[in-house]
A and B are shown apart, each in its own frame.
Chain A
């Protein structure tokens, strides 16, 4: 690991004041410390923001404000989250292990790197790690990589489960930074790779996430389902966060977000538009899933993800139909 200077931030504004070239914020460290050990991340300065007083989950009117430093395990165990946003609790519990969830923060979960095995191997080219060096995944191991929104420069996936639920819930990410405060609606925090895969998010240098705010839960039944290669502690092949509100046999509201299929949590807006206002039937869900996946561009060894995502959308919505 390359050496660095370490400092604890006294406040969010102190953290931002300390930002600059070569400076990274440290949360729970479950991704960043690992990437530093691999030589992928090489900060000169670490500013520890994990102990900032941003660790509360508070009701704000009919909204819920989740501090950026709330640990993943505390988020999933919170009574308000479990009662009002069970899909979010289930998504968080689907990710990583008990130990990692105890360490990882909400902001760190969002800002873990979008990645693949080549990104983590400094002996290999990677456009995300070294822009312009190439993407060995396209002709290599890409079984678990992106099928939607990928580019010729990068096919990595964002592995967060929590972010998929937040995308479906229209969560807002509160950010402070050198340019002031702003609010980024999910899934707008993460970006597709295009020709700049080195950028995972729309954040600017020095930006610090301070909170995630949830609007009131959408009406209807909700679910988070994750398909993976082993029963626990594995990234999703495909996951889904879904909400379905059926009234008199017709769909009044529908939210669908997918994980494991793209460089960012994927809000399936086309599928939602196709479903809302129509009948709550398997045929309608299948047509909507196919409309969404029409733009998939799978690689030779991850084409299985397209029917997997289609079936997961249809099955989950059928199960949510009263």
Chain B
């Protein structure tokens, strides 16, 4: 099926099998290998990208179903040649070891910082809470890090959230 996506600001027209996930399209067809295939079941978050500005598991999105969308991957997060503030903070805070989960962590954090409202750990759901470490941990629970760099990931995101 013919679909058209705006990927990191560039229009891309591709002919895809209806079974193809957005993740496989990005990696196998468009050469964007930043988003990673971890579990392929939406449980690890390594494949996280922004679809129309919202973070999503690209392994669970059929490419045909996101026809017409704007997709941002870690390659396009900074929007230029420099680094996104989250990328700078991850380096500064040593927020990764092997790096496999990092593109997903970065895209997830970028999406999370734009999400309004309470989380499951917010005391009063009427309040838009400050992004305390407890709030960040809860909001980032869809991204696993097998190296266990969580402490530094939370501190890196905290710095940008301030």
Using a CB–CB cutoff of 8 Å, the interface residues on chain A facing chain B are 1, 3-6, 26, 28-30, 33-34, 37, 46, 48, 50, 73, 76-77, 82-83, 86, 89-90, 93-94, 96-100, 102-103, 231-233
A1 touches B19 (CB 8 A): yes
Can you report 19 residue pairs joining A to B where beta carbons are below 8 Å apart? Answer: A3-B17, A26-B65, A33-B62, A34-B60, A46-B62, A50-B65, A73-B54, A77-B118, A83-B126, A97-B141, A98-B111, A98-B115, A98-B142, A99-B48, A99-B108, A100-B60, A100-B142, A103-B61, A232-B120
Of B39-47, B76-84, B86-94, the segment with at least 4 beta carbons within 8 Å of chain A is B39-47
B126 touches A77 (CB 8 A): no
Residues on the B chain within 8 Å of A37, using CB: 40-41
B118 touches A93 (CB 8 A): yes
Complex: A76 Cα to B17 Cα, angstroms = 34
B48-105 contacts to A (CB < 8 Å): 48, 54-57, 60-62, 64-65
B10 close to A (CB within 8 Å): no
Complex: A96 Cα to B111 Cα, angstroms = 16
Identify which of B108, B142, B143 gathers the most chain A CB atoms within 10 Å of its CB: B142
Complex: A233 Cα to B139 Cα, angstroms = 10
Task: State the Cβ distance, B142 to closest chain A Cβ, in Å.
Answer: 3
A102 touches B141 (CB 8 A): no
Complex: A233 Cα to B57 Cα, angstroms = 14
B40 touches A29 (CB 8 A): no
B125 close to A (CB within 8 Å): yes
Using a CB–CB cutoff of 8 Å, the interface residues on chain B facing chain A are 1, 17-19, 21, 40-43, 45, 48, 54-57, 60-62, 64-65, 108, 111-112, 115-120, 122, 125-126, 137-143
B125 touches A89 (CB 8 A): yes
A103 touches B60 (CB 8 A): yes
Residues on the B chain within 8 Å of A232, using CB: 120, 137-138, 141
Complex: A100 Cα to B55 Cα, angstroms = 9
Task: State the Cβ distance, B11 to closest chain A Cβ, in Å.
Answer: 20
Do A98 and B18 form a contact, CB below 8 Å, given A77-B117, A89-B125, A90-B125?
no
Residues on the B chain within 8 Å of A46, using CB: 18, 62
Residue of B nearest to A230 (CB): B141
Residues on the A chain within 8 Å of B61, using CB: 29, 33, 103
Residues on the B chain within 8 Å of A93, using CB: 118-120, 122, 125
Task: State the Cβ distance, A116 to closest chain B Cβ, in Å.
Answer: 15
10 A-B pairs with least C-beta separation = A97-B142, A77-B117, A232-B141, A6-B18, A93-B120, A233-B141, A102-B54, A1-B19, A99-B142, A86-B125
B62 touches A29 (CB 8 A): yes
Do A34 and B111 form a contact, CB below 8 Å, given A99-B57, A102-B56?
no
Residues on the A chain within 8 Å of B142, using CB: 96-100, 233
Residue of A nearest to B48 (CB): A99
